[in-house]
Amino acid sequence: MSESEPPLLELDRLEVSYGAIRALRGISVAVRRGEVVALLGANGAGKTTTLRTVSGLLKPRSGGVLFRGERIDGVPAHHVVALGIAHAPEGRRVFPVMSVLENLRMGAYRFRGGARREDLDRVFGLFPRLAERRTQLAGTLSGGEQQMLAIGRALMARPELLLLDEPSMGLAPMVVRQIFEIVREINQQGTTVLLVEQNAAQALRLATRGYVLETGAVVMEETAEVLLRDDRVRAAYLGEGAA
């Protein structure tokens, strides 16, 4: 990766508010092609707001979102997906009354010709448990399997950048490790990942770099190793103090 190439995703002094509530107070974040970047922060820090702004569900009050060097803030969500950004939203939203396969097909909705064989094969290769359950209704999957399905569905849109919002939420550590292993594989296959997490320990083992968000502002930006060793991060997010 050359230094001259613009970051794949760049948030430039992004400000987002919900009415009077200022959720993001001018954050700047860069994600370079091929990276896994972790966005850490406690509840209410503004992580979900960040992802929702990137995927076009929210409009910033000021500042910009740049994708491949182009402004994309203000582009409606359904067009953002077509640009190559897929979002696996918070709380593993799957279509409960659709089968696993139907869910994945919905992920490929942006392709008029429907889901492609090779994309399905790729997802089933990454998540063999989904392959076994392809006709099962998504609503009857376990929490971990639903999270896998939400990620798989996002991959069906062939994203260049994958946004993951707290994939570890409410899952057993074992399952989280499994899922993060797969995210690593997805990244190695060439997809850039912006990973939002509260579970800093796991996230930083996967990420190359990380940002720490506090009440809508970036308070730290470091490589993963540095963050893992940082006292404040340890205290706040690695279970060695109250969040």
Ligand X SMILES: Nc1ncnc2c1ncn2[C@@H]1O[C@H](COP(=O)(O)OP(=O)(O)O)[C@@H](O)[C@H]1O
Positions in the binding site for other proteins (CB under 8 A): 55, 57, 76-78, 80-82, 86-89, 91-98, 105-107, 109-110, 112, 137, 139-140, 143, 146, 150, 153-154, 157, 169-170
**CB burial string 74-87: b at 16+ within 10 A, e below:** ebeeeebbebbbbb
- Rounded CA-CA distance 147/153 in Å is 10
DSSP bridge partners of 21: 18
Rg over CA atoms, the chain: 17
**Min separation Cβ 210 and ligand X, Å:** 14
Which amino acid, one-letter code, is at 124?
Answer: F
What values do phi and psi take at 117, rounded to 5?
Answer: -50, -50
**Min separation Cβ 66 and other proteins, Å:** 20
For residues 181 and 173, the answer to whether their CB atoms sit within 8 Å is: no
Answer with the entry of other proteins, Mg ion, ligand X, none that 57 interacts with (C-beta below 5 to 8 A by kind): other proteins
**CB burial string 121-157: b at 16+ within 10 A, e below:** ebbbebbeebbebeeebbeebeebbbbbbbbbbbbbb
**Min separation Cβ 75 and Mg ion, Å:** 22
> Could you give the string, one character per residue 10-39, with x where binding to ligand X holds by CB under 6 A and - elsewhere?
--------x--x-x----------------
**Interface with ligand X (CB under 6 A), residue from 26, 38, 47, 154:** 47
The reply on whether position 193 binds ligand X by CB under 6 A is no
The reply on whether position 48 binds Mg ion by CB under 5 A is yes
**Min separation Cβ 138 and ligand X, Å:** 23
N-to-C CA span, the chain: 36
Answer with the entry of ligand X, Mg ion, other proteins, none that 95 interacts with (C-beta below 5 to 8 A by kind): other proteins
**Min separation Cβ 165 and other proteins, Å:** 10
In the complex, the residues that contact ligand X under the rule CB under 6 A are 18, 21, 23, 41, 43-49
